[in-house]
Amino acid sequence: MFRPLDLVAIFLFLGAMAAMGIYFSRRNTSTEEYFLGNRAFPGWAVGISMLGTSISSVTFLAIPAAAYILDYRQAVSNLALPVAAVLAVAFFIPLFRRGRITSAFEYLEARYGVAMRSYAALSFVILQLIRLASVLFLVSIPVASMFGCHIVWVILIGGLVVGAYTVLGGIEAVIWTDVVQTVILLAGGLLCIGMILFLLPGGLGQVIEIGRAFDKFSPGPISFRLDDRTFFVVLLLGVVNFTTEYAGNQNVVQRYIAARSTREARKATLLCMCMSVPTWMSFFFLGSCLFAYYHVFPSAEVAALEADQVLPYFILHKTPPFVGGVIISACLAAAMSSLDSSINAISTVVTIDFVKRFGRPRSDAQYLKIAKGIACAAGLFMILGAIGINYIPKESMNDFGLIVGSMFGGGMLAVFLLGFFSTRVGNRAILTATAAALLCNLVLMFNTFYGFLPIHPYWTTIAVNGVLWPVGYLLGFLWPNRRDLSGLTVWTGQQPA
């Protein structure tokens, strides 16, 4: 169902994002400005940017779909975010701001050695490249179906806009566009909820009544079974995932460092924490509202749709022209705030952790050109990867994502936490423990495909970190650390910048 005014709203949004990139491009005269904005961002802007980065197009579409088709069990993991945020405020932020580092993985070299730094940095880049292609592809599906155009055109236009303002504007464009995009995202979600409540005869009370009748607000089964997505496993997975994000994800650490002081970085983290849980819960509630609406007003067309297609259908058929375009722009904003952060983080990590670390010395101007070239390459990979995903069997892509995620994503939480909270674990111990964790990863990965153990895939990340932590700590007694750890652990002094 094509509506010209919706297209006008979307192009106005995309044009504004491109204009912001061009504006900030004039200020990028050094790598310090390009990667960190001269470490001068206010806490409130960094906090909103952190929120925007954590909410992708998958969130905008998948969370309402999860609540629409099932219940709130996937919301349980989000309740764990405050645990990670408090740890970050108390411990992680001062450690990362101790020196003039740019990459989270510089800390790992100082703490362990160059091998662990290189492995962690390479893992991050590989996972972010896959994430870029996947997120762009996923957000292009509903937009293409909404306007009846080929998905490749949506991928090209969206990818070029995101790539252009990120390459030109650097971290300043990323953070300030994230602020705008997050506001649009929140407004779009609330606008959808408001319209549904207005259209329902019984309003809010009717949504709650129908939701309770169909057990839509359930947090999942309360049990300790290993083969199901129970309340406890989802909560534990949330603790592990969010602590991993706040302890060592370059997208987050780069924002700690870009804040103008440790106090502002802490303020940003607390602001993100206070906004994130209500934001996620509002999108779950949007799914409940959709279920209630189509329970009261049944539709044969909606009944035939996949769960993640229900919200786009509602937007195009029940919202006024232009308003629907604003809400679609909110979906695009959710994707763009994640994509721009990943492109900039990839550029930062490759430049700092590989080109600068292992290459010949160059001038800062040369490094700036290299950084922009890497950002261009990441943007190109994002576009070509998303197009490629469109032409391969989706089951194959899912399997590929699981394999790569298992091989490169597991254990990073334990690596960073052992660095922060132990003085005994050194390079040899952590590398050996990482190898053991990768072996555990392989076993659980094959179990996901062949099911020879009664363990749900949600346990994979938990188990891998659960192996790496004790193995690394115990090996520290066999091969104790010999490095100077001044300022690198919570026990050996913190010198926040």
* Amino acid identity for residue 189 in this structure: G
Domain ranges of the chain: 4-391, 407-497
Helix (H, G, I), strand (E, B) or coil at 41: strand
What stretches of 112-150 show up as alpha helix (H) in DSSP?
114-147
Q: Tell me which residue has tokens 């983080």.
A: 345
Confidence of residue 496 (pLDDT cuts 50, 70, 90): very low
CA–CA distance, 194 with 211 (Å, rounded to integer): 17
Task: Write down the CATH number for the domain with range 4-391.
Answer: 1.20.1730.10
The pLDDT tens digits of the residues spanning 184-240 come to 888 888 999 999 999 999 999 999 999 999 999 988 777 777 777 778 888 888 898
> Could you give the CA distance from residue 81 to residue 235 in angstroms, rounded to a whole number?
10
Report, as an integer, the average pLDDT of 343-367: 95
Residues facing residue 259 across a β-bridge: 41
Q: How many CB atoms lie within 10 A of CB 327?
A: 26
Q: How far apart are CA 60 and CA 58, in angstroms?
A: 6
Q: What is the largest CA-CA distance in the chain?
A: 70
Instruction: Give the range among 65-74, 255-264, 395-404 with minimum mean pLDDT.
Output: 395-404
- The closest of 373, 348, 389, 311 to 131, measured between CA atoms, is 389
- Residue closest to 256 by CA, chosen among 108, 47, 111: 47
Kindly report, residue by residue over 87-112, the tens digit of the pLDDT.
999 999 999 998 789 999 999 999 99
User: pLDDT tens across 44-67, in order?
Assistant: 999 999 988 877 656 677 788 889
Q: How big is the chain by its Cα radius of gyration, in Å?
A: 23
Residues of the chain with pLDDT > 70, as a percent, come to 94
Window from 54-58, 138-142, 331-335, 456-460 with minimum mean pLDDT: 54-58
What are the pLDDT digits (tens) for 109-140? Answer: 999 999 999 999 999 999 899 888 888 887 88
Residue 1 has pLDDT above 70, yes or no: no
* Residue-wise DSSP of 155-180: HHHHHHHHHHHHHHHHHHHHHHHHHH
Residue 41 β-bridge partners: 259
Question: Which of 73-77, 256-260, 289-293, 492-496 is predicted least confidently?
Answer: 492-496
Extract the tokens encoding 202: 């019984």
Contact status, residue 24 vs residue 173, Cβ threshold 8 Å: yes
What confidence tens digit (pLDDT) does each residue in 145-184 have?
767 788 899 899 889 988 888 888 889 988 998 898 888 8
Mean pLDDT, residues 276-290: 92
- In this structure, of 39-43, 127-131, 285-289, 393-397, the range with the lowest mean pLDDT score is 393-397
Cβ atoms of residues 117 and 140 within 8 Å: no
| pTM, to two decimals | 0.88
* Buried b / exposed e along 85-122 (16+ C-beta atoms within 10 A): bebbbebbbbbbbbeebbbbbbbbbbbbbeebbbbbbb
Query: Could you give the CA distance from residue 449 to residue 306 in angstroms, rounded to a whole number?
Result: 24
